[in-house]
Amino acid sequence: MEFLVASAIGILTAGGIYLVLRLRTFPVILGISLLTYAVNVFLFASGRLTIGAPPVLRDGIETYTDPLPQALVLTAIVISFGMTAVVVMIGLGAFLGSNDDHVDDVPDIDTDADQTGGRS
Amino acid sequence: MSLFFIAALPFLGALLPGLMNSAGRSACAGVTFTVSLAAFLGLLTNLPAVLAGELVTARVDWMPSLGLNFTLMLDGLGFFFAMLILGIGLLIIAYARQYLSRNDNMGEFFTYLLLFQGAMVGIVLSDNILLLLIFWELTSLSSFLLIGYWKHLPEGRQGARMALTVTGMGGLAMVGGMLILGQIVGSYDLSVILQNRELIQESPLYVPALILILLGCFTKSAQFPFHFWLPHAMAAPTPVSAYLHSATMVKAGIFLMARMWPVLSGTPEWFVIVTTAGLVTMVLGAVIALFKHDLKALLAFSTVSHLGLITMLLGTGTAFGALAATFHILNHATFKAALFMSAGIIDHEAHTRDIRRLGGLRKLMPVTFVIATLAALSMAGIPLLNGFLSKEMMLEEANHTVLFGIPWLVPVMATVGSLFSAAYCFRLIGHVFLGPVRDDYPAKPHDPPAGMWLPPAILVVLVVVIGVAPFLVQSFVFLVADAVVGDAAKIETKYIKIWHGLVPALFMSIIAVVGGLLLMAIFKPLSRGWEAAPRPEAKVIFEAIVEAAASLAQRLTFALHNGAFTRYALIGTIAIVLAGLHAWSTGTVGPATRVMQPIGAVPLAGWLMLVVATGALVFFHRNRFLALILIGIVGLMVSVGFVYFSAPDLAMTQFTVEVVTIILLLLALNFLPKHTPVESSTVRRLRDGVVAAVGGLATFALAYHYLLRDAITTPISEFHLANSYKGGGGTNVVNVILVDFRGFDTYGEIIVLGIAALLIYALTETLLNGPVRARLLNRKPDQARAGDMHPMMMVVLTRVIMPVVLIVGFYIFLRGHNEPGGGFIAGLIVSIAVVMQYMASGFAWASARLRYPYHGIIGAGVLIAGLTGIGSWFVGKPFLTSDFTYVRIPPFEKFELATAALFDLGVFLAVVGAVMLSLESFSRLARRAHVEDSEFPMDIDPSRDDPPDGSGPAREGG
């Protein structure tokens, strides 16, 4: 089970990084969202994995999962929504203002030849 | 008067000149003068104690944990410098009143001057070296303002910037040196440091500390090779030059060398560095000064030369050297301030400072002539003037100093320096005042009003009195010199004498004066030779260095930070992975302490869905709608994972956030292109793929590693589990942590969320009021619109569902403290219920029914949460202490009332407001795009009176 969670974190991260490295705002935002999932799950997993022992106190039950990472991740999820919304708004504003949704504001001197294509 | 007052008066007084500016120039100068006079008199009240050899101190603990305390002390040395700073300051203020023209903003000038004066007094009174550093930096800043006072002059601005750069860099070095010194001694108190000579000099860190501190002193006191900024600072108004370069700013470095003399001097390192720098500066400054045609430039280089002389005397490390240095500081301050003021008078009256255009002024300006001549002769070292006395002592000391094993080196250099010094003094007198009266002065020179010549005259009286009767100041000079040397040495000399007999120093003096006269005789050919000779121009070199540093920084920054987000992301990813790899390879890896839990079929299926969805997202991300659906699947699987791993709260949060995020992205996608074109080359995609894979692998390794190992210490969660019910009154530990244990965190988080929403609102407003507005109004939807924008079924259904969802939200909120749920989740659920109304019935219809603006809801939420926290103050508990009780109202069961619930209500409201404000802002953009907007919830409404005209629905309402 640990392997599944760790690999899921890794795959989410890899997908997130790849998308973040794209050249348009929308895939970058998607990439950031994937990274957010990865980070949240990673933080959550720092409490180690426990199945069937939610941190809700019950009489006669002694084992519970670690509640602290859960509390921290809960606010992280909500805050990341706020941040995503701000980034989307900035991206949208930039697109509406310039009709261009590239993330790279590269001036004339550009060594990467492949970045110049498709810009108009 | 308390030392605090003396140090604070100039700073407090700095407010007054600005206020008095409109009351007239005399009032402005008068108030400044009064402030300085008060500080000066306050200082004098401490004279008896200082004369009695007491150490006057004043102490307030500021940041004791850092060793930074507001500690002031006054001994002979501090008193001496404070007296120079405040005393000459008084004369300068009186002089500046006459000097500044009506176009100059006098209030501004005196404000800067008082700030500078306060900083200088602070330096000399500080007993804590950290405090001293703060004042030290303040002098750099305030002198920058003073030197650049004439903002319209480019030379003034450049000179000010150069002074700030050089002294600022020196100051930075000194911060390092002082911190090392403090570390060695274990205290930042100067009085403690001064007691630990052996400890400091034996420390291996002595040399670094010494070099860093000397860098600070040398830059401030314009010692070679940092001497070049001082002449350029001459672009300042003359009162500034007279003040900064005779008695204060440049003497700060000297002061610090004197202050640190007992602990730093006496080692070979100190001797070689300080004596050499002083000697070179002395000779170099004197030679350059001779050939300067600008009166102030000549004086500037002569100041450099004299500072070199004092530095050299301190460098010798003998008690006699320290005594001579102290005496020369006093003498130099008197004659140099008088000379600067005289130069200012000449500039003021003749409208030029160019020596080549002057001459014969003795007949036209007899008073100035007498003042300047006496001061210059003193500087040249003519007997019966104070300059002669200290110069004799310097030559005497030079005779006993052997540098680099060459016995004649220092005496010869000292004589050469004195010779050139005498020569430029004679040139000053000869070429400015003597000779025939000319008829081509830019303005008709005449003596200034008394207010202008009186200040230098007072100083010249001192020059003569000290020169004729040195015994008057003798005991005071010895007192100061005693304070300089401290316990490190003993001053053997008993008297300051005019006549020592036929000692070598006298012959060296005679050589210097006669040689100076000879140089004057052959000045014309000499000057031509000097002009023709190639010599490095310090300003050009300085500017080249600054230019090179700037372009290097620019290139480095541009390479890393060129405006391309992908580059930052790439560099960041690689750097993080490399740092992780380094930590991994250098750290120790413990054995696995946990066994892997068996993998079930259902989790495996969920994992597969997540992996496939992520993979598909990467491959099909160009189709943006498809990408949204795929990321929805990923989010859903993450939520399910939370359920499986015992985190019901997280699952509910993730799930609801997922809904609003998708709605948000859909709203954005309404405007954005629906497809991402192929732009990157295959090579680039391959590179990104490799980086992504490496990053993913690294995260996997890290996660897998710690999932199989227990925490190295017991997590604090045990505490939370044990106290959740007893202390927090709730069985849902996650919720209790959020609203109670870590309530302050949560409070901050809802504020951040609110700020994010307001930011989105503000951005929308900006967009809608800017050029984008026109574009939005003229925008044609790039996709076919739905035929039925507000389907009746959906409108009816959402209305029916609304109360149900609200009840669910209410229930989730209430049970939050004991069961999964709470303010965050309830807020999200209620938001979804409201959003559904917008989606189904249209923006106009929903907005018309909105009773409270969303900003208000955010504000109310934050306010309620904050007031709940403050409430605990009234019962004498810290912020956000929660309380709970159980009540029973028949016929209900016993239930709990907790203040945490009130806090959670604040969270709830803030979340609802923030989510709704964000989504509403996005919708408002869309609303501009669709001009047609019905105020009716449904396009087809059977109950509506007006029959539809068949061609265009919803037109009637428009």
Cα–Cα distance between B370 and B361 in angstroms, integer? 11
Q: What is the pLDDT of residue B810?
A: 92
Q: Tell me whether residue B801 is exposed, middle or buried, using C-beta atoms within 10 angstroms of its C-beta: 0 to 12, 13 to 18, 19 or more.
A: middle
Total tally of structural domains belonging to chain A: 1
Residue B70 pairs with which residues in a beta bridge? B60
B724 and A57 within 8 Å at the Cβ level: the answer is: yes
3-state SS of B645-692 is CCCHHHHHHHHHHHHHHHHHHHHHHCCCCCECCCCCCHHHHHHHHHHH
Q: For residues B57 and B127, is the Cβ–Cβ distance under 8 A?
A: yes
B105 HSE (CA, 13 A, CB side): 12
B624 versus B896: the higher-pLDDT residue is B624
Residues of A in contact with B725 (CB under 8 A): 57
Whether residue A59 lies inside any domain: the answer is no
The pair phi, psi for residue B58, each rounded to 5°, is: -150, 135
Whether residue A115 lies inside any domain: the answer is no
3-state SS of A3-15 is HHHHHHHHHHHHH
Q: Give the model confidence (pLDDT) of B202-218 as tens digits.
A: 888 888 989 999 999 99
Q: For residues B236 and B147, is the Cβ–Cβ distance under 8 A?
A: yes
Confidence category of residue B128, pLDDT binned at 50, 70, 90: confident
B700 and A7 within 8 Å at the Cβ level: the answer is: yes
Of B247, B251, B170, residue with least CA distance to B213: B170
Q: Give the model confidence (pLDDT) of B913-923 as tens digits.
A: 999 999 888 88
Confidence category of residue A117, pLDDT binned at 50, 70, 90: very low
Please give the helix or strand (H or E) that residue B69 lies within, else none. strand B68-74
Surface of B (635-694) touching A: CB under 8 A: 635, 638, 641-642, 644-650, 653-654, 657, 660-661, 664-665, 668-669, 671-673, 676-681, 683-684, 688-689, 691-693
Q: According to DSSP H, which parts of B533-564 are helical?
A: 538-560
B179 HSE (CA, 13 A, CB side): 8
User: Which of A68, A84, A103 minimises the CB distance to B715?
Assistant: A68
Of B677, B822, B680, residue with least CA distance to B738: B822
**Dihedral sign (CA B618, B624, B626, B630):** positive
Q: What is the pLDDT of residue A116?
A: 40
Q: Give the model confidence (pLDDT) of B710-724 as tens digits.
A: 888 888 888 888 888
Whether residue A111 lies inside any domain: the answer is no
B707 and A45 within 8 Å at the Cβ level: the answer is: yes
B691 has pLDDT over 90: yes
Cα–Cα distance between B866 and B903 in angstroms, integer? 8
Q: For residues B298 and B355, is the Cβ–Cβ distance under 8 A?
A: yes
Residue B599 has a CB neighbour count (10 Å cut-off) of: 13
B298 has pLDDT over 70: yes
Q: Give the model confidence (pLDDT) of B274-297 as tens digits.
A: 888 998 999 988 888 888 888 888
Cα–Cα distance between B939 and B791 in angstroms, integer? 7
Whether residue A57 lies inside any domain: the answer is no
Cα–Cα distance between B617 and B901 in angstroms, integer? 41
Q: Give the model confidence (pLDDT) of B341-360 as tens digits.
A: 888 888 888 888 888 888 88
Q: For residues B314 and B278, is the Cβ–Cβ distance under 8 A?
A: yes
**Strands B884-887 and B68-74, sheet pairing:** unpaired
Q: Which two tokens stand for residue B154?
A: 């480019």
User: Which of B563, B731, B776 minimises the CB distance to A105?
Assistant: B563
B568 has pLDDT over 60: yes
Please give the helix or strand (H or E) that residue B394 lies within, else none. helix B386-399
Q: How far is CA B797 from the centre of its chain?
A: 60
Cα–Cα distance between B750 and B558 in angstroms, integer? 37
Alpha-carbon distance B836 to nearest alpha carbon in chain A (angstroms): 18
Interhelix angle B504-521/B523-532, nearest 10 degrees: 80
pLDDT (mean) for B521-543 = 80
Interface check for B923 against chain A (CB to CB < 8 A): the answer is: no
Q: Which of B608-612, B711-715, B831-835, B868-872 has the lowest mean pLDDT?
A: B711-715
List CB contacts of B131: < 8 A, sequence separation 6 or more.
B68, B69, B70, B71, B122
**Dihedral sign (CA A67, A72, A77, A79):** positive
**Which residue range is the domain that position A84 belongs to?**
2-51+64-105
Residues of A in contact with B642 (CB under 8 A): 44
Of B357, B266, B281, B381, residue with least CA distance to B314: B266
B885 has pLDDT over 50: yes
Q: For residues B939 and B954, is the Cβ–Cβ distance under 8 A?
A: yes
Query: Residue for token digits 């809608």?
Result: B768
Surface of B (566-585) touching A: CB under 8 A: 566-567, 569-570, 573
Secondary structure of residue B60 in the 3-state scheme: strand
Q: Give the model confidence (pLDDT) of B596-605 as tens digits.
A: 888 889 999 9
Residue B128 pairs with which residues in a beta bridge? B189
Q: Which two tokens stand for residue B811?
A: 């229930």
Cα–Cα distance between B459 and B246 in angstroms, integer? 12
Surface of B (877-916) touching A: CB under 8 A: 911, 914-915
Of B329, B330, B268, B266, residue with least CA distance to B489: B266
Q: Give the model confidence (pLDDT) of B776-830 as tens digits.
A: 777 777 777 777 777 888 888 999 999 999 999 999 998 888 888 889 999 999 9
Q: Average pLDDT, whole number, for chain B?
A: 85
**Strands B56-63 and B68-74, sheet pairing:** antiparallel
Q: For residues B20 and B31, is the Cβ–Cβ distance under 8 A?
A: yes
Cα–Cα distance between B277 and A48 in angstroms, integer? 65
Surface of A (53-82) touching B: CB under 8 A: 53-58, 64-68, 70-71, 73-75, 77-82
Q: How far is CA B620 from the centre of its chain?
A: 49
Determine the residue type at B718. E
| CATH code where residue A14 lies | 1.10.287.3510
Cα–Cα distance between B145 and B629 in angstroms, integer? 61
ipTM entry: 0.89
Interface check for B515 against chain A (CB to CB < 8 A): the answer is: no
Q: According to DSSP H, which parts of B293-365 are helical?
A: 295-316, 319-350, 361-364
Pick the residue of B599, B637, B644, B653 with the most A CBs within 10 A to test the interface with A by mutation: B653
A93 and B772 within 8 Å at the Cβ level: the answer is: yes
Q: What is the pLDDT of residue B84?
A: 87
Q: Which of B384-398, B480-494, B556-570, B662-676 has the lowest mean pLDDT?
A: B480-494
Count of pairs with CB atoms under 8 A, one residue in A, one in B: 333
Residues of A in contact with B780 (CB under 8 A): none
B565 versus A34: the higher-pLDDT residue is A34
Q: What is the pLDDT of residue B943?
A: 64
Determine the residue type at B757. A
Q: What is the pLDDT of residue B953?
A: 45
The DSSP-derived string for A70-101 is HHHHHHHHHHHHHHHHHHHHHHHHHHHHHS--
Q: For residues B322 and B313, is the Cβ–Cβ distance under 8 A?
A: yes
Q: For residues B348 and B307, is the Cβ–Cβ distance under 8 A?
A: no
Interface check for B922 against chain A (CB to CB < 8 A): the answer is: yes
The pair phi, psi for residue B70, each rounded to 5°, is: -85, 85
> Where are the domains positioned within chain B?
1-263, 265-521, 563-585+599-709, 732-942
Q: Which of A105-109, B703-707, B767-771 has the lowest mean pLDDT?
A: A105-109
Cα–Cα distance between A99 and A76 in angstroms, integer? 33
Q: Which two tokens stand for residue B207?
A: 């040399």
